[in-house]
Structure 1
Amino acid sequence: MVLDPHRWLELRRYRALHDSGAMSLRQIAKETGLNRRTVTKYLSAQVPAAPPQRASGTRPRPRAVDGIAPLIDTMLRSEVLLKATVIHERLVQEYGIAINYQRIKIYLQEARPRIAEELGINPHELAGMHRRFEVVPGAQAQVDWGDEGRILAHLGIPKIYSFHMTLSYSRDPFCCFTTSQDLATFFDCHQRAFAHFGGVPMSIVYDRTMTVVRRHVAPGEAVPLHPEAVAFAGHYDFDPDVLAAYRPQGKGRVERQVAIVRDHVLAGRAFSSIEELDAAFTAWVPLRRAKVHGTHGEVIGLRAIRDHTALRPLPHTPYLVAQRHLRHVGKDCLVAFDANLYSVPARKVRPRQLVEIRATKSQIVIHSTVPDSGGDTLLAVHSRAVGRGARIVDERHWDGLPKGDTRRVTTGDVLPQPRREQAPADEDGPLRALLNRAAAARVEVGRRPLSVYDELTGTRPFTTNYPTKGAR
């Protein structure tokens, strides 16, 4: 039997104890897990001065991970920082490969530097210091955005964002993907998160995003909240908690969740729609809830049950989130908003009139700033346009405006037919000739000397009568 060099070096540490009589060969064999005869052989006087070498004709024992090493390398090439837990999870769930997690972890110690060198990548990770805090069930959630970049650029979607809400007590996650971070989308994601958890936490932690904070203030001053954020929080009965500037550690639970979702759901995969992104997260949630969290030491799903039970109930009616903006009406009875045009009734507005736009995720509602005689301010309701450069027009809004369909032109070669009831009695008379340009050109006109006109104007006495052939 050839002893492994590492075991041989471990066994050498017991030589002094054996020589001094402090430990017997039986005790050393029990401590090292080796056979007593092996211990006797290597602790005898004939012990070699160097570690025993493997016989040249023997092959190294194959490892269980060697058969799937190319698959692991492929995963690393798509994302070199892919964690061992993620790789092990995907091997089990997607490929049905049952392998010990420690073997994956040991293999990555040599594979990751090799793949990183192959790709020319040198990753660095930094860690900060912060104070840890704990909360009771249902007391708090944390919210954050993630910028997922151009993962759907091949579909013409320039940027994808991920919205995250994490319950602080259990670390139970929610995530959905959007193409915008505007006010309506932000609070629509809240409503989806509340439905996912089955209730509303007592408080939600935010950073100083402009959808929550009206403006930035100096340190120590009270933060003015956005009016729509105040109304939304009042409707769902939770307290907005805004962090101090440049303190992401205050919502470290959701900051960590952004990275976990990126590693376990997005890394190394391709998607063809936002719906696929949402479905990938939904499919991963049971795996996350089955994990034992490294901080609180409990299964996330079991702890989430207590968290969900303590949440406040959802209101009977959802809050209608609306962005409010003032815009001017154009001369064409169109109002510009978000790079699109929407019509308003021509009979109710005037050019350059100021109107209020209330924009939800799916609708554009336009109100007058001054109520009419009946106290009504509503002017128009439209479906919200998708994209930019669209013109959404209700044709009824243009009733009464000139259409331009009564304008006509002619080359003069064709005589328009007069209406029968207005036709003159003598269709071949002088009036008919005047209406027809070609016929008028053939009318004979009397010719007179210029002296006749002098006599008519009084510059010369009228003395002679001249014949006027064909004159009228």
Structure 2
Amino acid sequence: MIIMESRRKIRVLYRKCGSIKEVSRSTGISIPTVRKIIKSDEAVAASYKRSVQPHPKLGSYKETLEKLLRDNKLAKPKRNGVMLFEALRDHGYDGSYSAVARYIKAWNGRTSGTSPNACIPLSFAPGEAFQFDWSTEDVMICDEVVTVKVAHFTLCYSGKKFTYIYPNETQEMVFDAHVRAFGLFGGTPVRGIYDNMKTAVQKVLHGRDREWNQKFERLCAHYRYEPTACTPARSNEKGKVERQVKIDRDLFFTPMPCGSSLQELNDRLMSQLSYYNNTHKHPKYKDKTLDEVFAEEKPFLIPAPVLFDGCKETDIRISNTCLARFDRNSYSVECCVSGKIVQCRSYADKLIFIYDGREVGQHVRRFTNGGTYYDWQHYLPLLLRKPGALKNGSPFTGMPLPDELLAVQNHLLQHPNGTRDFAHILSYIPAESMESVVAACDETIKSGAISKDVILNILLRKKDKPYETEAAPNIVYMKLKYTPTEDCGIYNQLLNVGA
């Protein structure tokens, strides 16, 4: 093999002397080889390519290996290179695996009509489809790095996109992302393209058929669109949203965004997203922005009549401390359902507890681990039986009270049984409302007579209905036959007697 340095020297010497024989004599390389290098019109390359690949060990087994490869093309499941190597050894082959692997690669290249990475460009009509995908990103919340999930939507025709950050990708987050995205778009396309996420696909069947999750089917039926799943491990089938994930990561998550809460990051993201859709040029219609092309697509979207109730329903038994355990955290509910089973409706941002068709608790959803979250008003009815809990009860620690109630509390605690009296006043809040109790406290403060009895008396008096005299019915009196003629005024003279 003539190395690159020898080729350079041959060409330089020939340029100087102009004689092939002289170059051959000077370099010791044969005249035919020198002539071939000088006459060659090909660019000088630093590579060597064999014209014939020898197979000293595999030579007599090539036909056997090719038969195994042809049979393997139609087989399901297919055998990999190691399995084919073992099958060839059963026929007596005693060579190396690397020789077999090289031959398999060359054979696949000769027999395959297309590259496995080749794709066909896709084209979509207005309102035909959207694509959805999740990505994993890192953000900084309160000086702590947090891994979050980001929902990505893109309309296949206009390219208008929607992106939102969530703490995880559970089904409630999927529902909330769809509600927000379709609200931004003002409707839904005919078809939605997904990968085979577990929150949507119950079971992968033959081909494109899928057994969809029942709650996800309810979402699709509400917004009247057809879900379509990609082939497993074929992300190129939803290439638009895959490309969007990379763009969003560069635009919105590099460098790492920082904020005090997830809501703050989402508010900032919505502002950036609106600017992007309004200014970024469409890749096909380069004289228009994404929003301008979306304005053409919007009439083809189907608007939803009402918002989808995207909650997950779970039955939970309430503990004797009036706590419901959900997703590694505990939340308080009304004490009347202690020990009973309630329904928890979990949303992306809140939890609602229902018992017998009535709401018995509502909390902001937390994503911590092992936390307990109280609403102190849930425990107020228990204060009638356990007023001492007002001092050390966890729900009442640091409870936010209006100024009027704080003033009453400070006054009552200066007297014996002040804690019991104040607990008695608080126990009326569930029945009378916070506003009524605060108004009664304000009235007693102004009057200067602050006591439990006065406050409760004011509350009860406000419930009493004012006395109303009933109008006398129309009475028909008997008519006198003879009208009296005597003057009865003479009797008034008796009033002056003794005056």
Q: TM-score, length-normalised on structure 2? A: 0.48
- Higher relative contact order at CA 8 Å, sep ≥6: structure 1 or structure 2? 1
For 1:9, the equivalent position in structure 2 comes to none
Instruction: Return the match for 2:372 from 390, 415, 420.
Output: 390
Runs (5+) with no aligned partner, structure 1: 1-126, 369-375, 408-416, 418-472
Instruction: Provide the rounded CA distance (Å) in 2 between the counterparts of 1:325 and 1:264.
Output: 38
Asked whether the 8 Å contact 1:167–1:307 carries over to 2, the reply is: no
Q: How does 1:180-195 map to 2 (within 5 A)?
A: 180-195=168-183
For 1:148, the equivalent position in structure 2 comes to 137
Question: Is residue 309 of structure 1 aligned with residue 293 of structure 2?
Answer: no
SS of equivalent residue, structure 2 residue 325: strand
Code of the residue aligned with 1:211 in structure 2: it is T
Code of the residue aligned with 1:286 in structure 2: it is N
For 2:228, the equivalent position in structure 1 comes to 241
Q: CA deviation at 1:226?
A: 2.4
Instruction: Provide the rounded CA distance (Å) in 2 between the counterparts of 1:356 and 1:340.
Output: 16
Alignment deviations for residues 288-312 of structure 1 (CA, whole Å, 9 cap, x no partner)? 2x2433xx77745343332222111
Question: Is residue 381 of structure 1 aligned with residue 361 of structure 2?
Answer: yes
Q: How does 1:244-283 map to 2 (within 5 A)?
A: 244-268=231-255, 270-272=257-259, 273-274=264-265, 275-283=267-275
Pair 1:357–1:406, CA change in 2 (3 A) = closer
How many pairs were matched up?
268
Alignment deviations for residues 91-111 of structure 1 (CA, whole Å, 9 cap, x no partner)? xxxxxxxxxxxxxxxxxxxxx
Alignment deviations for residues 123-171 of structure 1 (CA, whole Å, 9 cap, x no partner)? xxxx93334432211010001112122x325633512332211111222
Instruction: Provide the rounded CA distance (Å) in 2 between the counterparts of 1:406 and 1:291.
Output: 64
Pair 1:344–1:276, CA change in 2 (3 A) = closer
Q: CA deviation at 1:396?
A: 4.0
For 2:347, the equivalent position in structure 1 comes to 360
Asked whether the 8 Å contact 2:348–2:365 carries over to 1, the reply is: no
CA RMSD of aligned residues (A): 3.2
Runs (5+) with no aligned partner, structure 2: 1-115, 391-415, 417-499
For 1:168, the equivalent position in structure 2 comes to 156
SS of equivalent residue, structure 1 residue 211: coil
Greater helix percent: which structure? 2
For 2:203, the equivalent position in structure 1 comes to 216
Asked whether the 8 Å contact 1:340–1:390 carries over to 2, the reply is: yes
Q: TM-score, length-normalised on structure 1? A: 0.50
Pair 1:218–1:195, CA change in 2 (3 A) = closer
For 2:309, the equivalent position in structure 1 comes to 320
Asked whether the 8 Å contact 1:153–1:159 carries over to 2, the reply is: no
SS of equivalent residue, structure 2 residue 150: strand
Instruction: Provide the rounded CA distance (Å) in 1 between the counterparts of 2:208 and 2:122.
Output: 24
Asked whether the 8 Å contact 1:265–1:284 carries over to 2, the reply is: no
Q: How does 1:119-138 map to 2 (within 5 A)?
A: 128-138=117-127
SS of equivalent residue, structure 2 residue 241: helix
- Identity over aligned pairs, percent: 22
Asked whether the 8 Å contact 1:343–1:380 carries over to 2, the reply is: no
Instruction: Provide the rounded CA distance (Å) in 2 between the counterparts of 1:153 and 1:363.
Output: 20
Instruction: Provide the rounded CA distance (Å) in 2 between the counterparts of 1:335 and 1:268.
Output: 39
Code of the residue aligned with 2:328 in structure 1: it is A
Code of the residue aligned with 1:135 in structure 2: it is F
Question: Is residue 344 of structure 1 aligned with residue 333 of structure 2?
Answer: yes
Instruction: Provide the rounded CA distance (Å) in 1 between the counterparts of 2:310 and 2:178.
Output: 11
Q: CA deviation at 1:207?
A: 1.2
Alignment deviations for residues 322-377 of structure 1 (CA, whole Å, 9 cap, x no partner)? 11122222122211012222233443443xx4332111234322234xxxxxxx33
